[in-house]
A and B are shown apart, each in its own frame.
Chain A
Amino acid sequence: GAGVSQSPRYKVAKRGQDVALRCDPISGHVSLFWYQQALGQGPEFLTYFQNEAQLDKSGLPSDRFFAERPEGSVSTLKIQRTQQEDSAVYLCASSLARTGPYEQYFGPGTRLTVT
């Protein structure tokens, strides 16, 4: 079946530009997560949605980062006025479970390069 998809797969932005990264989770998955992965590092949590509700955004590094999931399915991570330190792979993951331990299914990621 279809997995988690993300678009675009690669994005080059000039410093100061705004970008929008899209995530299509597995159909029916309640939970959706965004992670930032720098080269050679583990994924770092950014934010978590349960359906359309953003229950935790404690990992967003600054107010330039904004995420939404208005209808409880597709999610968008927006970064305003991009900086070079924003260069990373942005991973989206979804999970079927609403609560408790669960398996996360990751998408292929969007590699963002800020020049």
Chain B
Amino acid sequence: GQQVMQIPQYQHVQEGEDFTTYCNSSTTLSNIQWYKQRPGGHPVFLIQLVKSGEVKKQKRLTFQFGEAKKNSSLHITATQTTDVGTYFCAGPIGYYGQNFVFGPGTRLSVLP
């Protein structure tokens, strides 16, 4: 079946350092979504990428969708303690394209 992988599994950074997480799918995706889950919380939608090669920015966060639409990345510039959490990518499967396969996530720790 379709698989979505993420690396690294864990990342510890000093506050102010940059952070990047990578997402890879075994199949071409029509779109990809990114979610953030704070410790003890639930996933919160960050962004959706649809076009090949698309790049979107949200303040210090930069999201990219690969040209082949099989990989994506999330880059955070100058991390802050509020960035702590697990970042998941998710890609749609199924006939209706409404079900999403989530990656295992990258857990980010930011040391003050």
- Residues of A participating in the B interface, judged by any CB pair closer than 8 Å: 31, 33, 35, 41-45, 48, 50, 55-56, 58-59, 91, 93, 95, 99-109
Contacts and interface: CB of A to CB of B under 8 A. Distances in A.
A111 to B, nearest CB: 10
A40 B90 CA distance: 16
A109 B42 contact: yes
B73 to A, nearest CB: 17
B30 A101 contact: yes
B44 A106 contact: yes
| Range of interface residues on B (Cβ < 8 Å) | 20 to 34
A97 to B, nearest CB: 9
Interface in B33-52: 33, 41-45, 48, 50
B66 interface: no
Given A48-B96, A58-B94, A103 B45 contact: yes
B102 A48 contact: no
The 9 closest A-B pairs by CB, nearest first: A42-B102, A106-B42, A101-B31, A103-B45, A45-B99, A43-B102, A106-B43, A42-B105, A42-B104
Contacts of A56: 94-96, 98-99
Given A58-B94, A101-B50, A43 B99 contact: no
Contact of A107 (B42, B92, B93): B42
B101 interface: yes
A100 B42 contact: no
Interface in B55-110: 88, 90, 92-105
B31 to A, nearest CB: 4
16 contacts: A42-B90, A42-B102, A42-B104, A45-B93, A45-B100, A50-B96, A55-B98, A56-B99, A59-B99, A93-B43, A99-B97, A100-B97, A101-B48, A103-B48, A105-B45, A108-B42
